[in-house]
Amino acid sequence: MKVLDLKCTQQHVFEGWFASEDDFQSQRERGLVSCPLCGDASVDKQLSAPRLNLGASPAPVAPTASTPAPTAEAGLPAVMADPHLQAAWMKVMREAVARTEDVGERFAEVARQMHYGETEERGIRGRTSAKEAVELLEEGITVLPLPDSLNEPLQ
């Protein structure tokens, strides 16, 4: 399995998993490779660092809500192994962007204001530290970590 770093003409960067370099080229020539964020089929391979497996196997991690169970195909998360799941995931992420306000670095502050009734409740997204996210959860404020790419405009 070959993992390639790819980029579309909209400058979205994403990974592609292919059986070989020839498989990537063949799929790209047939128009089967496209950006999961904007659907752009003009995709180029970027430089990427190789992953070396030197025989040490990491300790198994039990799946949680934030870490999907691996699939049979080389331990890939199901969303990476199934193009239909990838498309569904991207649809959900586009909806999340469309229906939420980006409050940036003020995420924790705005989430607390809403939780304590200081401002109207609404869907928000933004950035906060892992420590701050844990503190929000301890206060009873629901947070859901999402990919950082949601802070970039989706086409």
Task: Give the tens place of pLDDT for each residue, 56-85.
Answer: 555 444 444 444 444 444 444 555 556 677
- The dihedral sign for the CA sequence 32, 35, 39, 40: negative
Classify residue 24 as exposed, middle or buried by CB count within 10 Å of its CB (0-12, 13-18, 19+). buried
Where in the chain are the domains? 1-48, 97-149
What are the residues facing 67 on neighbouring strands?
A: 64
pLDDT in tens, 110-141: 999 999 999 999 999 888 888 998 899 899 99
Is-above-0.95 flag for pTM? no
Lowest mean pLDDT among 15-29, 88-102, 117-131, 140-154: 140-154
Residue 86 zone, left/alpha/beta (φ > 0; ψ -120 to 50; rest): alpha
Specify the residue for token string 């301890």: 138
Asked if 146 and 123 touch (Cβ cutoff 8 Å), the reply is no
Residue type, 94: R
**Residue 14 half-sphere exposure, CB side, CA atoms within 13 Å?**
24
